[in-house]
Amino acid sequence: MRRINLISDKSARPLLEIRDLNLDFGTPRGRIHALRNVSLDVPAAQVVGIVGESGSGKSTLAYTVIGLLSENAEITAGNILFAGRDLLSMPVQARRRLLGDRLSMIFQDPMTALNPVRTIESQMIDIQHHEQGSRSKKGARAIDMLHRVGIPDPRSRIGAYPHHFSGGMRQRICIAMALLVKPALLIADEPTTGLDATLEVQIIRLLKDLQKEIGCSILFVSHHLGAVAELCDRVAVMYAGEVVEEGSVRDIFHNPAHPYTRALLECDPGRIRQRTRTLPTIPGEVPSLLGNRKGCIFRARCSQAFSRCVHEDPVEYRIGLDQVARCHLLDEERLVSA
């Protein structure tokens, strides 16, 4: 399916273009359709957030872009174009060269990225293997980057091992490492989950400053809608393996068009004004991703579902200039007003 160009400067090609991506996981119970017809753009120098309940496919999408999938994953259709080149048809060696050179990742658990038996210094020097210069020059760059992410006294601490740092500091070190290579695209999967609220705010601000300075794009996966609102330019809302709505942060947070986006916002603890003992949740559960299905994936939980939602898959409808959503209601409204 050809996608509407949602970028305001229509002459600029997005840095990352995900087109009709489908991915299954093979399991003893059958094939899990974890990504269905996912299309998403990440424009150059912009931050795109991905939100959605647990199990909606956010991490699967992030890991597919970076090329770190488990063995039981199979991409059954689609393309991922990075700077115009299809990552999925690229030879493995060429794709590896991109990783760590133009593409970087920050994981939820910093220990996934750090080697526990090597010093921070040696890891930060090695990550610059694409760069010119001596080890001492690279060491100086590493100290400078540690200073910028707020590690106190980096000159004396750079020789320490990962376990000598707190969780928040390790995450800062991972951000420093990911940005040291000046990537064109940084993928961050829940980089602040598990950190306390103050640290989260500090890390989000840091990411924002460094993104502006380096001019890179970020694909930012998060449960935390407040963090997404603060950091991102655009947001994609995922549900059960599909992108159900996408638009600018302003449109998604102030003018959500899809019933799922509205339900997600209503349950956001950051938006609840009344005092309550129990936080609201969206009634029902994310549906099984096993097997084939017909109709809207959200219909079992949607208070506005009608007969068409059972038989027909909603396509992407455009709202205004810069927002799209997959919901039949948008087509019905269009028909009424025509």
Interacting residues toward ligand ATP by CB under 6 A: 25, 27, 32, 34, 52, 54-60, 70, 72, 223, 289
User: Using the rule CB under 6 A, is 327 a contact of ligand SF4?
Assistant: yes
> Binds 289, which of Mg ion, ligand ATP, ligand SF4, none (CB < 5 to 8 A, cut-off by type)?
ligand ATP
Residue 296 contact, options ligand SF4, ligand ATP, Mg ion, none, Cβ 5-8 Å cut-off depending on partner type: ligand SF4
Helix pair angle (167-180, 135-148), 10° resolution:
130
Which residue, 67 or 295, has its beta carbon nearer to Mg ion?
67
Question: How far apart are alpha carbons 67 and 47 in whole angstroms?
Answer: 20
The residues in 294-323 that bind ligand SF4, with binding defined as CB under 6 A, are 296, 298-299, 302, 304-305, 309, 314
Part in contact with Mg ion (CB under 5 A); list of ranges 58-66, 133-141, 153-161, 276-284:
58-66
302 binds, among ligand ATP, Mg ion, ligand SF4, none (CB under 5 to 8 A by kind): ligand SF4
Parallel, antiparallel or unpaired: strands 73-82 and 16-27: antiparallel
Question: Is 80 a binder of ligand SF4 (CB under 6 A)?
Answer: no
Can you tell me the distance from the alpha carbon of 192 to that of 106, in angstroms, rounded to the nearest whole number? 10
Which CA distances in Å does 164 have to 140, 161, 170, 202, 252?
Answer: 21, 6, 9, 21, 41
The strand pairing partners of 219, in sequence order, are 48, 187
Q: Does 257 bind ligand SF4 (CB under 6 A)?
A: no
Q: How far apart are CA 271 and CA 290, in angstroms?
A: 34
- 59: contact with Mg ion by CB under 5 A: yes
CB of 221 to Mg ion, least distance (A): 6
Query: Could you count the other beta carbons within 10 Å of the beta carbon of residue 135?
Result: 12
Task: List all residues 6 or more positions away from 271 whose beta carbon is below 8 Å from its beta carbon.
Answer: 225, 265
Residue 36 as a binder of ligand SF4 (CB under 6 A): the answer is: no
Q: Are residues 252 and 237 in contact, defined by beta-carbon separation less than 8 angstroms?
A: yes
Residues comprising the chain, all counted: 338
- As measured in angstroms, the least distance from the Cβ of 302 to ligand SF4 is 3
Which spans of this chain sit near Mg ion (rule: CB under 5 A)? 59
Which spans of this chain sit near ligand SF4 (rule: CB under 6 A)? 258-259, 296, 298-299, 302, 304-305, 309, 314, 327-329
